[in-house]
Amino acid sequence: MTRPNIVRIANGQGFWGDSILAPVRLVREGPVDYLTLDYLAEVTMSIMQKLRSRNPNAGYATDFVRLIDRILPELVEKKIKVVANAGGVNPRGCMDAIAAVIAKRGYKGIKLGIVEGDDVFTRIDELTTAGEKLSNMDTQAPISSVRDRLTSANVYLGAFPIAQALDQGAQIVITGRGTDPGLVLGPMIHEFGWKTGDHHLLAAGTVAGHIVECGAQCTGGNFTDWRTIPDMARIGYPLIEMKADGTFVITKHDGTGGLVNESTVAHQLAYEMGDPKAYLGPDCTADFTSIRMRQDGKDRVAVDGVRGGPATPFYKVSASYQDGFKAVGELTISGPDALEKAKLCAEIVWKRLASDGFEYPASERLVEYLGANTVHAGIAAADRADPSEIVLRMGVKGPDEAKVNRFGMELVPLVTSGPPGVTGFAGGRPKATEIIGFWPALLRKEFVTPKVTVVTVGT
């Protein structure tokens, strides 16, 4: 096949809940070869697993289906390919939903690809019997301590299965859990023919993917010098211009808001970096200290010099487990002496609960006074000591759902049985909700076999 000089890869989602307009604008406001969409976070997998347990056809990002329905004409006309981890814990169900959209729209001959094999939730006992410890990477606790409470378990697959689906002609590739940078690295491997031993090239693609994986966070979003960011309402989402030699430019479409400079890119580079000399992934390791950046014109940052090494023999496992219950509620305390009254309200709640036999240890309590330097306490000085309004945020957690729910009954009564100026109770009583715990682990790669399937819709 003829290799391109430059491949343009745009990322239009940093998480499930990111701007629904971002991917629409990306395909309409400038040239794009690939649109990537990152929907998954650790807790998202558990939510999707729970949804699928109730409905075998659920378990994927439904927003993705609505998006494809909206932009399918542009994708077909402009020959834009899409790579998304919207499959969650049910890539096949997501593929079926996209196929239905394509059929409804009357298009034929569009190839859909899915990548499966990341979900090891039903294999935990098999894996531990085979000698895999799956112990918690942070605490070293054995997985047996949470085995009966596990809600999901997925490995972070790499980019080569995505490239394989693209090699087979897929225009839309849907994956389950994989690495965030892998969504953009897969198209690079496909377009440029990079191999597993091309460590420096794979590292360059990984770095590029890491820069854009949080969407607009590298184009001015969440930026310290926020006053310098123009037209944030129309912030442009990021675009990678990648060359076959691993050098690339981070930019955005002309005429959009936001800003791309060395500082905005560096802010994102530092995100979840870990060891800067060994950023680990299933395809390679990347040395972030080798990265060289320079401004290459307005809203263009050129990156080169990236060095990499071999991948580790493990996949990272993202597992989750049921870790008790929590209930959190808020009230607004207004008027003179708001902070003093808010503190009295909190004291009243704990005393009333205790009088009814419900004690909560300090480790299971939450009390915050928003507006009194709660978020940056100990870091930034409060501007004033007597705010005229305070949001009292209180909560409890623990293994007993009934006890957690009992706490929720004591906030609203403060409106008429506490100090004056209490309002903001329209949300009603806070109810107990499940706490999802995160369980990171390692699994040897030989226990996982990615599966790629490509089908043609409307043949």
Count of domains forming the chain: 2
Residues 257 and 327 in one domain: no
Q: What pLDDT is stored for residue 299 in this prediction?
A: 97
Mean pLDDT, residues 352-365 taken together: 96
Does 282 have pLDDT greater than 70? yes
How many other CB atoms are found less than 10 A from the CB of residue 353? 18
Strand 172-175 to 285-287 pairing: unpaired
pLDDT per residue as tens digits for the range 116-167: 999 999 999 999 999 999 999 999 999 999 999 998 899 999 999 999 999 9
Can you tell me the distance from the alpha carbon of 351 to that of 205, in angstroms, rounded to the nearest whole number? 57
Domain boundary residue, one of 254, 279, 312: 312
The answer to whether residue 457 sits within a structural domain is no
Domain boundary residue, one of 261, 291, 312: 312
Does 374 have pLDDT greater than 90? no
The answer to whether residue 68 sits within a structural domain is yes
Mean confidence (pLDDT) of the chain? 94
Residues 219 and 344 in one domain: no
The answer to whether residue 255 sits within a structural domain is yes
Q: What pLDDT is stored for residue 168 in this prediction?
A: 98
Largest Cα–Cα separation, the chain: 77
Does 42 have pLDDT greater than 80? no
Mean pLDDT, residues 206-231 taken together: 96
The answer to whether residue 328 sits within a structural domain is yes
Q: How confident is the model at residue 104 (pLDDT cuts 50, 70, 90)?
A: very high
Q: What pLDDT is stored for residue 321 in this prediction?
A: 93
Residues 162 and 226 in one domain: yes
The answer to whether residue 134 sits within a structural domain is no
Domain limits for position 387:
320-438
Q: Which of 47-51, 221-225, 381-385, 429-433 has the lowest mean pLDDT?
A: 381-385
> For the residues of 169-191, what is the DSSP string, one character each?
T-SEEEESSB-TTHHHHHHHHHH
Residues 275 and 417 in one domain: no
- Give strand pairing partners of 397: 326
The answer to whether residue 243 sits within a structural domain is yes
Q: How confident is the model at residue 266 (pLDDT cuts 50, 70, 90)?
A: very high
CA gyration radius, the chain = 25
pLDDT per residue as tens digits for the range 322-336: 999 999 999 999 999
The answer to whether residue 302 sits within a structural domain is yes
The answer to whether residue 396 sits within a structural domain is yes
Residues 367 and 408 in one domain: yes
Does 377 have pLDDT greater than 80? no
Residues 241 and 347 in one domain: no
Domain boundary residue, one of 246, 280, 312: 312
Residues 227 and 264 in one domain: yes
Residues 345 and 260 in one domain: no
Residues 332 and 253 in one domain: no
Does 315 have pLDDT greater than 80? yes
Q: How confident is the model at residue 210 (pLDDT cuts 50, 70, 90)?
A: very high
Residues 196 and 273 in one domain: yes
